[in-house]
Amino acid sequence: MLRNALRVPSGRIAAVLLGIVFFLAIFGPLLAPDAPNTTVAAQLQGTSGAHLLGTDYVGRDVLSRMLAGSTLSVLGALMVVVIAFVVGAIPGLLSVYLGRGFEWVSLRVVDTMIALPFLVFAVAMTALLGNGVVQSMFAVGILLSPVFFRVARSSALSVARSQYVEAATLSGASTAWVMRKHFLAKVLPPISIALSTTMATGLVVIASLTFLGIGVQPPTATWGGILAADLQYIAIQPLAPLVPVVVILAAVLGCNLFADAVRDVSGEAGRQLLNARAARKAGKLTRVPRARIGLRKGGELG
Amino acid sequence: MATVSIAGAPSRGSLIIQHRSRQFAGVIWRLLAAFIPVFLLGSFFTFLLGSISGLNPAPLQLGDGASLSAVHALEQKWGLTRPFFDQYFTWLGHVLSGNLGRSWANNNPVSTLLEGRAIITLSAAGLALLIGIVFGFALGALAAKYQDTWVDRVVTILSATISTLPPFIVGVVLIDLFATSLHLLPAAGYVSMSQGFGPWFSHIILPAVALSFDTVSDVARQLRIGLVSAKRQHYVTGAVVRGLSGRRVFWVHTLRNAVSPSIAVLGLKFPALLGGAVVTESIFQLSGYGQFATQAAVQGDVPSVQAVLVVAVILVVIFNMFVNIILNALVPSASRGT
Amino acid sequence: MVDLTTVQDEIAVEVHDLRIRSTVPDAELVHGVNFTLRRGGTLGIVGESGSGKTLTCAAVLGILPKQVERSHGTIEIFGRHTAGFGRQEWVDLRGNVISAVFQDPGSYLNPSIRLGKQINEVLRVKKGLSRKQAKEETLRLLSAMHLRHPELVYDQYAHELSGGMLQRVVIAAAIAPGPKILIADEATTALDVTVQAEVLDLLTELKDREGLSLVVVSHDLAVVAQICDEVLVMRSGEIVEYGPTDEVLHSPSNEYTKLLISEHERYGLDRIIESERLQVA
């Protein structure tokens, strides 16, 4: 599936963007020319040779701060996704197999969670539970889990009802084996999509929380925190906020494009799209055929 | 009106009325059944959060270094030593009767603290909703009318891009553009309507636009889908064949059935709008609801936070019920078959 | 509004060498159709799916779908060529001069608006009636359709009625503005046999009372045989037989027609003959 996703342009762009983002997250701090938390030069300088992105209001090198901040921002989002997955997918699966009572209760809980204004809750949860990084990740992870609940549940439902399971169970295979083999194949696309969109949301939420100063205290560098500081001095350095903005957007865009790519290449429509593209490349078609309504409607035009 | 009456049987007219009121009651019942659990769960979760936090009024009211016995006495005074469910139900009862508790930070009733701020937040969120509806509809209708042409494609891509832009980023860019660079609009603050529409508008427009992007995009997408599907329906042909003009067919028949997905999506967007307000208020320095929540959370002022959360839940529930009622009025066939 | 009262009223619809083709993919669907419908006459069009009968009617009504167009020939409605009609001319023509009812009547009504209101709409827009007048006229129409409780139907939604009742409502909406031509495209398909007969009787009654010219399209020869003076048999976009009903039914010249008739003798016409006999008795 990943290979297929890379065949569409959106997938390729996504791969590039995400590659850069993860690279920054892992190697960022190592690449920083200056220490991110120490004053190294005069305040609020514009770009220059020594400081590619200028300096901030304390005199710290912006580039170093951005690089250092990548780790926290990106890995924080990643943790959020993992937590959301675990908190959501497990009950989601269980809701199919544990009987009506559990199912009803878990569905109601999920409905409620979707209905809540979730940034407000994220702020409240993080702050009230100790205002630390870990709390913020857990809070956001829990609040974002409904997506995974639904994906896990619908995957489990579709597999439970499919004929593979019947056939396999008839031939005496254990439930665990059945689940493992057929489950994964059918379920990978929607889960990948959920993972990427949650990652995108996670990035935005972590940035929002750090922007508000919740969960992470200054002087720790985060993309959101840098943006918040930049906002204060926007009159002096109007272009400064654009740096974290572009970076955050690029990361979010990468995730969303990946989700789009997976969406485009999976399922029946996906197979058609890929075949058509391959045929076009080989010079066999002049344009990608699309299903046209019109004449195929049978009795209407008979 | 000619009504045939069989002896003892109700007239046809009153039968219709009975049928209609039963349908309406059914709708209301169903709405309540769907939303009451949400409210209860939401309020329970809110209260639980406060309890789990293990916070107490001491840091705010007694300062650091207060003796354990003083802290304990304070806790008792605030009823925090009572069993959990005891506290929960008392609190819930208070909430339902309008008492939102007292802030630990300053002992004031939270409801008073929230009063003025609510207007600010609701102005921004309300205007954002309005912008979302107007522009979302316009874009969606445009895309549907010129379906499959470049207009459609541009609008679709545009709205897809817009939906990924988080409100606080848009806010920052807007400030940079309109306030700092072009000096067209103020960057911060709130001016109430009593000082004139112009000032109010110029202060609230940027936050509202920042909040609205997500809504515009979703409404546009849903309307396009709804219109594209409605256009193909037979009842459109029926109306055309009866000689009704294109405009009438569109506004009275097509649109009416096409708007339901986009109106439904508004219900889903409202929580996002409230949530987005939290950050936008910080960027634009609006002393609204969201900012209050943040401050209170950071301070550890549990009752205030709980009040804010539960009010948010109530607002979402009410808004959704409202949306459902409108949907039902527009497209009654949605209520059949349940 | 265009005044069509002064035109010829002998010939309602005249179609001459009509060809219809689709643009994507490029193919001719109807290969030269000719027929004439006189004022007060009933024309039946018989054919299977794909015969081109519905396309022909769509062309007469001006509602051909997007990628289908008239490539040749003329259609005259009361002497006016409709080839060059603009949007407004079609709007003026439809309802006032020509209207149609189709299969699955419920789907041709707006599911979210009460039925009475939809008929009112036609009356108020096309005939300029006031709200009160429209309501009275709608109720009158509904009872003229032999609906037993017009006031009830007035307030109901489409999904609350049966197929037969819905078809009557749709017919009422179609004839409300007083058209001279009514096209019934498979209007009785998917209705029960008895209801079918009732609807056909209703159409005949309208023809007799209001001088309506009818075009009845069906794949069912029996339906056409029951009420039409003339029959057109279509196959693969062409007319294979055209003439007075008696002639076509009893001495068909075309093989395909003969096939249709013999099949119907086994399944269809007997019922009509049977029910006619019962009515007389």
Token pair of B134 as six digits: 């107007």
Q: What share of chain A is helix, strand, coil (3-state, %, to 5)?
A: 75, 0, 25
Regions of chain B short of the pLDDT cut 70: 1-16, 58, 61-66, 181-182, 187, 191, 193-194, 333-338
Where does B64-109 have alpha helices with state H? Answer: 68-77, 84-96
* Cβ-contact A229, A57 below 8 angstroms: yes
Question: Does residue C175 register a pLDDT over 60?
Answer: yes
The pLDDT, as a whole number, for residue B97 is: 80
Q: Residue B335 burial by CB count (10 A; 0-12/13-18/19+): exposed, middle or buried? A: middle
For tokens 């702020």, name the residue: A123
Length of chain A in residues, anyone? 302
Q: In angstroms, what separates the C-alpha of B38 from chain C's closest C-alpha?
A: 29
Q: Residue B52 burial by CB count (10 A; 0-12/13-18/19+): exposed, middle or buried? A: exposed
Chain A contact present for B96, CB below 8 A: no
| Interface contact B294-A204, CB threshold 8 A | no
CA atoms of C267 and B316, how far apart (whole Å): 62
Work out whether the CA dihedral C91, C97, C101, C102 comes out positive or negative: negative
ipTM, two decimals: 0.84
CA atoms of A157 and B88, how far apart (whole Å): 36
Instruction: Give the CA count within 13 Å in the CB-facing half-sphere of C246.
Output: 0
Neighbours of chain B (3+ CB pairs under 8 A): A, C
CA atoms of A54 and B64, how far apart (whole Å): 41
Q: Report pLDDT digits (tens) over C93-108.
A: 998 999 999 998 989 9
Q: Report pLDDT digits (tens) over B140-182.
A: 988 888 888 888 888 888 888 888 788 888 888 888 787 776 6
Q: In angstroms, what separates the C-alpha of A260 from chain C's closest C-alpha?
A: 30
Q: Taking CA A22 as the corner, what is the angle to CA A19 and CA A25, rounded to the nearest 5 degrees?
A: 150
Q: Which residues contact C88 (CB under 8 A, 6 or more apart)?
A: none
Q: Which residues contact B231 (CB under 8 A, 6 or more apart)?
A: B144, B254, B258
The pLDDT, as a whole number, for residue B259 is: 87
| Domain ranges across chain A | 2-265, 266-302
Helix orientation angle between B167-174 and A242-265, rounded to the nearest 10 degrees: 140
The pLDDT, as a whole number, for residue A163 is: 61
DSSP 8-state secondary structure symbol assigned to residue C63: -
The pLDDT, as a whole number, for residue B2 is: 45
Q: How confident is the model at residue C67 (pLDDT cuts 50, 70, 90)?
A: confident
Q: Report pLDDT digits (tens) over C195-235.
A: 888 888 888 988 888 888 999 998 888 888 888 989 999 98
Q: Residue C5 burial by CB count (10 A; 0-12/13-18/19+): exposed, middle or buried? A: exposed
> Which B positions 182-241 lie with beta carbon below 8 A of chain C?
233-235, 237-241
Within 8 A of B250 by CB-CB distance, chain C residues are: none
Within 8 A of C155 by CB-CB distance, chain B residues are: 16
Better-predicted residue by pLDDT, A69 or C132: C132
Regions of chain A short of the pLDDT cut 50: 289-302
The pLDDT, as a whole number, for residue A299 is: 37
Strand C11-22 to C27-38 pairing: antiparallel
Mutate to test the interface with B, among C108, C160, C167 (most CBs of B within 10 A): C108
CA atoms of B212 and B138, how far apart (whole Å): 14
| Interface contact C95-B244, CB threshold 8 A | yes
Helix orientation angle between A223-232 and B167-174, rounded to the nearest 10 degrees: 30
Class of domain A2-265: mainly alpha
* Cβ-contact C269, C225 below 8 angstroms: yes
Instruction: Give the CA count within 13 Å in the CB-facing half-sphere of A77.
Output: 31
Give φ, ψ of B181 to 5 degrees: -80, -50
The chain B residue lying nearest A247, using CA atoms, is B169
CA atoms of B46 and B100, how far apart (whole Å): 13
Chain C contact present for B79, CB below 8 A: no
Give φ, ψ of B274 to 5 degrees: -65, -40
Cis peptide before A146 (omega within 30 of 0): no
| Interface contact B173-A242, CB threshold 8 A | yes
Size of interface A-C (CB pairs under 8 A): 29
Q: Which residue in the set C24, C48, C55 is minimally distant from A301, CB to CB? A: C55
The pLDDT, as a whole number, for residue C138 is: 93
Query: What does the buried/exposed string (b/e) look like for C58-72 if buried means 16 or more CB atoms within 10 Å of the residue's CB?
Result: bbbbbebbeebebee
Q: Which residue in the set C92, C99, C111 is minimally distant from B242, CB to CB? A: C99
Q: In angstroms, what separates the C-alpha of C111 from chain B's closest C-alpha?
A: 7
Neighbours of chain A (3+ CB pairs under 8 A): B, C
Q: Which residue in the set B12, B242, B252 is minimally distant from C95, CB to CB? A: B242
| Interface contact C67-A298, CB threshold 8 A | no
Q: How confident is the model at residue C255 (pLDDT cuts 50, 70, 90)?
A: confident
The pLDDT, as a whole number, for residue B1 is: 42
Q: Which residues contact C122 (CB under 8 A, 6 or more apart)?
A: B242, B243, B244, C95, C173, C176, C177
Within 8 A of C48 by CB-CB distance, chain A residues are: 302
Within 8 A of A124 by CB-CB distance, chain B residues are: 49, 293, 297, 305, 308-309
> Which A positions 87-126 lie with beta carbon below 8 A of chain B?
108-109, 111-112, 114-126
| Interface contact C111-B257, CB threshold 8 A | yes
The chain A residue lying nearest C63, using CA atoms, is A301
* Cβ-contact C216, C45 below 8 angstroms: yes
Question: Which of C264, C170, C172, C182 is closest to C216 using CA atoms?
Answer: C182
* Cβ-contact C42, C214 below 8 angstroms: yes
The pLDDT, as a whole number, for residue A293 is: 36
Within 8 A of B168 by CB-CB distance, chain A residues are: 207-208, 211, 227
| Interface contact A302-C53, CB threshold 8 A | yes
Q: What is the dihedral of CA B306, B307, B309, B313, to 10 degrees?
A: 130
Strand C213-218 to C181-185 pairing: parallel
